A and B are shown apart, each in its own frame.
Chain A
């Protein structure tokens, strides 16, 4: 199975900050990577597909980049609504696997 490792596991930031979350795959997944945001008690929400595609309705302050084994999710100018947990997911190979999550909280 492809292992997905996110860093950091927890990130403290302030409104207006720019933050970056990294996701590393144990082998190349080309660009078959998605990013999700999840808030407590809610289902995940798709933010980014194919490593850098912005899902419809997602604010442009979210962006994704990378290919192969290293990927990043960047949020520019953090808003109060952005404090949540973020997951990457590879879909190059079954089983599709998620990273362990990065919790973004308020500093």
Chain B
């Protein structure tokens, strides 16, 4: 069974940093592109970042480029999102999601909440 479990969320002060992690199991992690998608309270889904199977390509939405870094450790079946210079507008539930080969995100974690507030 595919499982994606996020961790690392919590309350962060504006300007602060936070690292989110996603532990993957139940599939061959190294063969899938992976993403972070977020959802601000009461709002829609926002695509945040995307990383190729081997980590050689990374893509970001403009609003986080230069502040967030997506990475992966295929030996540990782990996906990460390093977030810095956090702003109130980064407050959201962050989902780890598996990209199913040119089709869509077919598996999602339960999500982890990040709140940026003083």
The A-B contact count (CB < 8 A) is 62
Q: How many residues of A are in contact with the other chain, CB < 8 A?
A: 25
- B104 near A91 with CB under 8 A, answer yes
Instruction: Tell me the interface secondary structure of chain B in the complex.
Output: strand
The interface-forming segment of B23-31, B54-62, B70-78 is: B54-62
From B62, B95, B104, contact of A34 by CB (8 A): B104
- A43 near B108 with CB under 8 A, answer yes
- A43 near B109 with CB under 8 A, answer yes
Q: How many residues of B are in contact with the other chain, CB < 8 A?
A: 22
Q: How far is the CA of A96 from the CA of B61 in the complex (A)?
A: 8
Smallest CB-CB separation from B110: which chain A residue?
A: A43
- A98 near B44 with CB under 8 A, answer yes
Smallest CB-CB separation from B59: which chain A residue?
A: A94
Contacts of A50 in B (CB 8 A): 102-103
Contacts of B110 in A (CB 8 A): 43
Contacts of A49 in B (CB 8 A): 100, 103-104
- B108 near A44 with CB under 8 A, answer yes
The interface-forming segment of B9-17, B45-53, B82-90 is: B45-53
Smallest CB-CB separation from A87: which chain B residue?
A: B45
Q: How far is the CA of A38 from the CA of B110 in the complex (A)?
A: 12
From B95, B106, B108, B109, contact of A55 by CB (8 A): B106
From B46, B95, B100, contact of A43 by CB (8 A): B95
Q: How far is the CA of A43 from the CA of B47 in the complex (A)?
A: 14
Q: How far is the CA of A55 from the CA of B105 in the complex (A)?
A: 11
Given known A43-B110, A43-B111, A55-B104, contact A96–B44 (CB-CB < 8 A): no
Cross-chain pairs A/B with CB under 8 angstroms, 5 sampled: A32-B102, A38-B45, A53-B103, A55-B103, A89-B47
Q: Which residues of B contact A (CB under 8 A)?
A: 37, 44-47, 50, 59-62, 95, 97, 100, 102-106, 108-111
